[in-house]
A and B are shown apart, each in its own frame.
Chain A
Amino acid sequence: MEIFKQDPNFNFLGHRRIGFGLSALLLVISIGSLLWQGLNLGIDFTGGTLVEVGYEESIEVSEVEAILAETEFEDAQVMHFGSPREIMIRVPPMDGVEQAQISEQIFDKLSAAHDGVDLRRVEFVGPQIGEELTEQGLMALGLALLGVLIYVAFRFEYRFAVGAVAALLHDIVIIIGFFSLTRMTFDLTVLAALLATIGYSLNDTIVVSDRIRENFLKVRKGTTEFVMNMAINQTLSRTLVTSFTTLLVVCALIFLGGEIIRGFAVALLVGVLVGSYSSIFIASATSLALGVSKQDLIPPEKEGSDQPDLEVPPSERP
């Protein structure tokens, strides 16, 4: 079985303006949403207390809110978590209240009001830890990007490195924008997924770049754009197959993995989709726009008569 019986020959880079336009639109929406409503940060980042309880029967959010309204935690955020029988309560950091006791008081209140309340999870994170995590997260992100930039510049060429990092930034902003727009909770697992996405998107970008380099060395004729398009088309089957298998697993996580891991899985889903797209329309198109050419990739000592086989194989002849 094959996706393409004939070699595909889509003019991806010819339509790069459409790609850039689409990306620009997505980026504007993402950044706009981030500026306008920010992220719904989880307690890992904000600090505070999270209490998850299970009821024997379905319970309304308003009912729990009514119970909490009589306490000092009236501002607590109450929501269903996974099923109508499970409730998650988030209390922001409070001055003057012994943080670690909040969960006990809330649980006592809830179990006094209903029978059979089961305390499933309590998390308390000090505001200072939250700050540190945000710093650490940003640092990990920054250093990961820097590491990639250096490695790709060293192995390929600086224009490819710029393209790869541009694609990564593009993916990161869009994933964060997605979480901002949908108001999904951005917590530590989502950060992990974001960083995993960097790995995935990078994988994709490197596979395409690798093929571009190979083609530059092999194909004598044709414009830079033509050679790059050829590489993208040659790797297209692989890109689609790999994204598809990864998406299969990610979907298994989304539907079966449970509520705690859902944010993680959704971030991966967006990451895989955007990552595959950006390896073509951002990474390749950016290095093309920066004016990468055949000469940049040919090792200097191999110039001239030492050139290896420059014959174009029949299948790749334009």
Chain B
Amino acid sequence: MNRYPLWKYILVLTVLTVGVIFALPNLFGEDPSVVITTEDGEIPAEETQSEVLSFLEEEGLSPAVHEVLEERWVLRYDSTDRQMRASDMISAKLGRDYSVAMTLVPATPQFLRAIGAEPMFLGLDLRGGVHFLLQVDLDAMINDTLEGYERDIRTLMREERIRYSSIEVSDEQDLRLIFTSEDLRARAEGLISEQVEGIEIDKQPSNGDYLLIVKLDEDDQQEMINLAVQQNVTTLRNRVDELGVAEPIVQRQGSDRIVVQLPGVQDPAQAKEILGATATLEFRFVDHSDFPFTGDPDDPDAVPAGSELFPTRNVEHAGDYVLLERDYIVTGERIIDASSGYDQQTGSPEVNIRLSGTGGRIMNRATRERVGDHMGVLFIERVTETELVDGEPQRVSREIEEVISVARIREALGGRFRITGIDSSEEASNLALLLRAGALAAPIDIVEERTIGPSLGAENVERGFMAVVIGFFLVVAFMAVYYRVFGLVANLALFTNLIIIVAVLSMLQATLTLPGIAGIVLTVGMAVDANVLIFQRIREELKAGTPIQTAIDRGYSKALSTIADANVTTLIAAAMLFIFGTGPVQGFAVTLAIGLATSMFTAIVGTRAVINLIYGGRKVTELKI
């Protein structure tokens, strides 16, 4: 009795070994580092590397270690002060062709990294940084779309000579048309449902008037919202990349919210400036007095009054510079969607653009008389960079203006038009991306903002760690005194449990937050419950005069159903927390659930293995419990 088959011992040992290996990376800590990549995300060339190194040596800022890790060039430092200074110096020296980011790089040894063992990811409350929750203003976007339909329908009514009392966008996010007779309404309904796509029409009796309600089609609207939020995520991600923050998080949350987390960033004002940055687009007519541009770009007289000269980016057939008229036709805010595709007749690549109602109206009026002329798309972006001023790094913001497309106007343009004559499908999809990502698809509001200072973060880690350690030792001491040998075995299980929890969290690459630490601490307190239940049962059996070996066996088997019931009910509570909670509550729920599962394993299977090794299969006269 009380002997495990060999496979059970092997199972326990395997779990323990894997646990130790995957928990190990957390012991090595992290080095403050500067990570350098080229603009295209590649490792800088050898010569650039040695140039940077000798420059740093001159400044007395040589890194402790420099190495290539995961396609990035990493310079490790021993203090954050030196790291920050070095980062400023390097980014000022290398300029905008390189991305220079400050980050903490885990000091995990190579052999652990090789098998994919990485430390847990620390949450913002533990490392400091900024968290934003942004809300996408969908109402504004829907209203803009409805205004577009309003214009289309007005034109339609006029062309077909259907008289109406009024057409207007209501507060209920629909379009209301009022007619004076049933006949007019029926004709209008037939016409609209035939001509306009993506809407639902509803008739409603109203006193004396004949009301027609046009709503956006539910599916269409859902897709539009989806695209807008997705596009905002992309735009924000591009902007965050400009910040040079390591390991940023830009994630969609729910239907219309976006979470942005910037570890290590301490200045929310600067972060907000860049997130809300105005990368805008302008559609302008090309000045044909000198097209393609032949003058000297440095000569101010080469630019006629009323025009401006801009450099071009990847625009074929237009030279390096283009003269555009000073006034714009519409701006990128009017773009609702842009997608790349192929011309159905010629099969050549094209970009389809959809403007908002107002945008389409303005575009139509402006292009009607300029068929045959060229139109240019100007991309304006405000960027913040680090520059060396008198040997001191300083942050400067400046505007970049580039023409990203020049195309001939073949006919009067409206709300939907396309840019053709593009060389490759790749170029077309890039242009579509720029048109889309240039500006935000729908306005965003900051609905939640949390900043944790680095000193507070470090303090949180230290205190959380202390609480775990002290709490753990108090419990261990008590168990050893109260249950003697069995108590020691339980302590072993408790310790193993802690290792396995850390290992599982590391394997899942879960983010450890303060409530997560609390979850671990609580697990330590409650994890002993399973062992307490078992040990009390064994004591009862011994008091009842059961033989020792039988008492151990019955103790375990009788306690099992109680432990299962109790843990399943707690798991139900943890699941509810996870499903209906948000960020920190979810973190707590995950650690609690993992803790429950691992503690069941260590407390039931693990301790039994050790107890069997000590007492199993031999004659025992006294049980130290």
- Contact residues of A with B, CB < 8 Å? 1-2, 7, 52, 54, 99-100, 103-104, 118-126, 128-129, 133, 136, 139-140, 143-144, 147-148, 151-152, 155, 188-189, 191-192, 195-196, 198-200, 202-203, 206-207, 210-211, 234-235, 237-238, 241-242, 244-253, 256-258, 260-261, 264-265, 268, 313-316
Closest B residue to A211 by CB, please name it. B562
> Once bound together, how far apart are the Cα atoms of A249 and B565, in whole Å?
24
**Contacting pair B565 A206 (CB below 8 A):** yes
Roughly how many angstroms separate A148 CA and B567 CA in the complex, as a whole number? 12
How many whole Å from A219's CB to the nearest CB in chain B? Answer: 14
Contacts known (A147-B576, A264-B515); A246 close to B569, Cβ less than 8 A: no
Q: A241-B532, A257-B518 are in contact. List 16 more A-B contacts (CB 8 A).
A: A99-B446, A100-B272, A118-B453, A129-B133, A136-B580, A203-B570, A206-B566, A238-B532, A246-B522, A248-B525, A249-B467, A252-B470, A257-B463, A261-B467, A268-B522, A314-B544
B54 touches A (CB below 8 Å): no
Are B592 and A261 in contact, with the CB atoms below 8 A?
no
Whether B449 and A122, one on each chain, are in contact in the complex, defined by CB atoms closer than 8 angstroms, is yes
Residue B572 at the A interface, CB < 8 A? yes
| A-B complex: 10 closest residue pairs judged by Cβ atoms | A252-B471, A249-B525, A249-B471, A246-B525, A126-B447, A140-B580, A199-B570, A258-B463, A144-B576, A122-B451
Most buried by B among A7, A188, A245: A245
Partner of B540, one of A189, A234, A252, A256: A234
Is the CB–CB distance between B526 and A203 below 8 Å?
Answer: yes
Q: How far is the CA of A257 from the CA of B562 in the complex (A)?
A: 32
A126 to B134, CA, bound (A): 10
Query: Please, how many angstroms separate the alpha-carbon atoms of A265 and B570 in the complex?
Result: 18
Q: Which B residues lie within 8 Å of A99 (CB)?
A: 446
Which residues on A sit within 8 Å (CB–CB) of B297? Answer: none
Residue B204 interfacial (CB < 8 Å): no
Determine whether the beta carbon of B536 is less than 8 Å from that of A264: no
A195 touches B566 (CB 8 A): no
Q: Please name 13 pairs of A and B residues whose Cβ atoms are closer than 8 Å in the assembled complex, sorted by A.
A: A103-B451, A104-B269, A119-B453, A126-B448, A151-B568, A151-B569, A203-B567, A207-B533, A210-B561, A238-B533, A245-B529, A249-B522, A261-B514
Write out the residue numbers on chain A whose beta carbons fall within 8 Å of the beta carbon of B581: 136, 140, 192, 195
Using A242-B528, A248-B475, A313-B544 as known contacts, say yes or no to A199 and B574 having CB atoms under 8 A apart. yes
1/0 per residue, CB under 8 A from A, across B456-478: the answer is: 10011001101110111011001
Interface 0/1 of B339-359, CB less than 8 Å to A? 000000000000000000000
Contact A144 B572 (CB under 8 A): yes
- What CA separation (Å) do A16 and B565 show in the bound complex? 26
* Bound Cα distance A196, B446 (Å): 31
Q: How far is the CB of A80 from chain B (nearest CB, A)?
A: 16
B residues less than 8 Å from A247 (CB atoms):
525
Taking a contact as CB atoms under 8 Å apart, the answer to whether B514 and A248 are in contact is no
Contacts of B418 in A (CB 8 A): none
**Which residues of B come within 8 Å of A, CB atoms?**
125, 133, 135, 268-269, 272, 445-453, 455-456, 459-460, 463-464, 466-468, 470-472, 474-475, 478-479, 481-482, 484, 514-515, 518-519, 521-522, 524-526, 528-529, 532-533, 536, 539-540, 543-545, 561-562, 565-570, 572-577, 579-582, 584-585, 588, 592
Q: How far is the CB of A152 from chain B (nearest CB, A)?
A: 7
Chain B nearest CB, measured from A306 CB (Å): 20
Report the bound CA distance from A126 to B23 in whole Å: 38
List B contacts of A152 (CB < 8 A). Answer: 569
- A113–B460 alpha-carbon span in the complex (Å): 28
The reply to whether B466 and A256 contact each other, CB–CB distance below 8 Å, is yes
The answer to whether A124 and B449 have CB atoms under 8 Å apart is: yes
Q: Please state if B580 and A143 are interface contacts (CB–CB under 8 Å).
A: yes
Decide: B464 and A257 in contact? CB cutoff 8 A: yes
A286 CA / B567 CA spacing, docked (Å)? 23
Establish whether residues B569 and A261, one from each chain, have CB atoms under 8 Å apart when the complex forms. no
Distance A152 CA – B453 CA, assembled complex (angstroms): 45
Q: B479 contacts which chain A residues (CB < 8 A)?
A: 245
Q: How many angstroms from the CA of A210 to the CA of B566 in the assembled complex?
A: 9
Asked, given contacts A199-B574, A252-B521, A258-B463, whether A192 binds B584 with beta carbons under 8 Å apart, the answer is yes
Question: A155: which B residues are within 8 A, CB to CB?
Answer: 565
| B573/A148 in contact, CB under 8 A | yes
CB distance from A171 to the nearest CB of B (A): 12
A245 close to B573 (CB less than 8 A): no
Asked if A242 meets B526 with Cβ closer than 8 Å, knowing A122-B451, A257-B463, the reply is: yes
Q: Min CB distance, A6 to chain B, in Å?
A: 10
* Residue in chain A with minimal CB distance to B536: A238
Interface contact B585-A249, CB-CB below 8 Å: no
Across the interface, A248 reaches (CB within 8 A) one of B455, B471, B562, B574, namely B471
Contacts of A196 in B (CB 8 A): 519, 522, 573, 588, 592
Nearest residue, chain A, Cβ from B592 = A196
> How far is the CB of A103 from the nearest CB of chain B, in Å?
8
The residues of A that contact B125 with a CB separation of less than 8 Å are 260
Could you say which of B459, B522, B524, B533 has the most chain A C-beta atoms within 10 Å of its C-beta?
Answer: B522
* CB-defined contacts of B570 to chain A, threshold 8 Å: 199-200, 202-203
The residue that B455 contacts in the complex, of A120, A188, A195, A258, with Cβ under 8 A, is A120
Q: Is the CB of B525 within 8 A of A250?
A: yes
Residues on the B chain within 8 Å of A129, using CB: 133, 447-448
Residues of B within 8 A of A313 (CB): 544
A99 to chain B, nearest CB (A): 8
Shortest CB distance B447–A (Å) = 4
Which one of B449, B561, B579 has the highest number of Cβ atoms from chain A below 10 Å of its Cβ? B449
Contact residues in A for B472 (Cβ distance below 8 Å)? 249
- Chain A CB within 10 A, most for which of B468, B526, B579: B526
A315 to B567, CA, bound (A): 29
B584–A256 touching, CB < 8 Å: no
A252 neighbours in B (Cβ, 8 Å): 467-468, 470-471, 474, 521
Q: Which residue of chain B lies nearest to A189 when distances are taken between CB atoms in the complex? A: B515
Which residues of chain B are within 8 angstroms of A249 by Cβ–Cβ distance? Answer: 467, 471-472, 474-475, 521-522, 524-525
By beta carbon, the residue of chain B nearest A123 is: B450
Pairwise interchain contact A256-B467, C-beta atoms closer than 8 A: yes
- Give the distance in Å from the alpha carbon of A52 to the alpha carbon of B457 in the complex: 13
Bound: A253/B567 CA distance, A: 23
Bound Cα distance from A195 to B451, whole angstroms: 26
Q: Taking CB as reference atom, which chain A residue is nearest B445?
A: A126
Of listed A151, A188, A241, residue having the most chain B CB within 10 A: A241
- How long is the Cα–Cα vector from A191 to B515 in the complex, in angstroms? 11
Task: Say whether A100 contacts B446, CB under 8 Å.
Answer: yes
Asked whether, in the complex, the Cβ of B448 is within 8 Å of the Cβ of A203, the reply is no
> Which of A120, A147, A252: most chain B CB closer than 10 A?
A252
Determine the residue in chain B with the shortest Cβ distance to A196: B522
In the complex formed, the residue of A with least CB distance to B574 is A199
> What are the residues of chain B within 8 A of A257 when measuring CB–CB?
463-464, 467, 518, 521
Q: Across the interface, which residues of A come within 8 angstroms of B565, CB to CB?
A: 155, 206, 210
- Is B478 in contact with A133, judged by CB distance below 8 angstroms? no
CA distance A119 to B479 in the complex (A): 43
Known: A121-B452, A203-B566, A245-B528. A256 touches B481 (CB 8 A): no
Given A140-B577, A206-B562, A252-B521; A192-B515 close (CB under 8 Å): yes
Q: Are A248 and B532 in contact (CB under 8 A)?
A: no
B562 touching A192, Cβ below 8 Å = no
A103 contact set on B, CB distance < 8 A: 268, 449, 451
Residues of chain B within 8 A of A123, CB atoms compared: 448-451
Q: Which chain A residue shows the least CB distance to B580?
A: A140
Q: How far is the CB of B467 from chain A (nearest CB, A)?
A: 4
User: Are B539 and A2 in contact, with the CB atoms below 8 A?
Assistant: yes
CB-nearest residue of chain A relative to B466?
A256
CB atoms of A140 and B576 under 8 A apart: yes
In the bound complex, residues from chain B placing their C-beta under 8 Å from that of A147 are 572-573, 575-576
How near does chain B come to A209, taking the closest CB pair, in angstroms?
A: 8
**Residue in contact with A260 in the complex, picked from B460, B519, B524, B573, CB distance below 8 Å:** B460
Tell me the minimal C-beta distance from B621 to chain A in angstroms.
Answer: 20
Of the listed residues A202, A241, A249, A257, the one surrounded by the most CB atoms of chain B closer than 10 A to its CB is A249
Instruction: Give the residues in chain B near A119, CB-CB below 8 Å.
Output: 451, 453
